[in-house]
Amino acid sequence: MSKYKKGKIVKGVVSGIETYGAFVTLDEFYTGLIHISEISHEFVKNITDYVNIGETIFTEILEVDEESCHLKLSIKNIEYKLHKPHTKKKIKETSLGFKTLAYKLPKWIDYSIEKINKK
């Protein structure tokens, strides 16, 4: 019995790209194809606008062929990209400094009090 089932979301690595779709390697035995029609609800002109070779992505299993260890896959209805870690950006100080906050804070407080009183 396979660990891959229809409807399951799995992680794989894009191993090839052709004009008709992207190949994904899931483990040492199973590979799959994301047909171009399963990449997006929009028209897909270039598959590399969505995935690139070597990229690790999530994909949804549409069909499993146990005999050939091949899967039909889709990224159309899921968030397929792995979230990249947030990069730190250096804070740039403006010439106004905290003056903007000092100016806006009383307005924000008044707005919040009005909002609370309306409840």
55 occurs within a structural domain: yes
Distance CA 21, CA 33 (A): 7
What range defines the domain where residue 61 resides?
Answer: 9-74
User: Does residue 115 form part of some domain?
Assistant: no
CATH of the domain at 68: 2.40.50.140
Domains in the chain, number = 1
- Predicted local distance difference test score (pLDDT) of residue 92: 72
pLDDT > 80? residue 66? yes
| Model pLDDT for residues 94-115, shown as the tens digit of each residue | 777 777 778 888 999 999 999 8
What digits encode the pLDDT tens for the residues 12-64? 999 999 999 999 999 989 999 999 999 999 999 999 999 999 999 999 999 99
Evaluate whether residue 53 is within a structural domain. yes
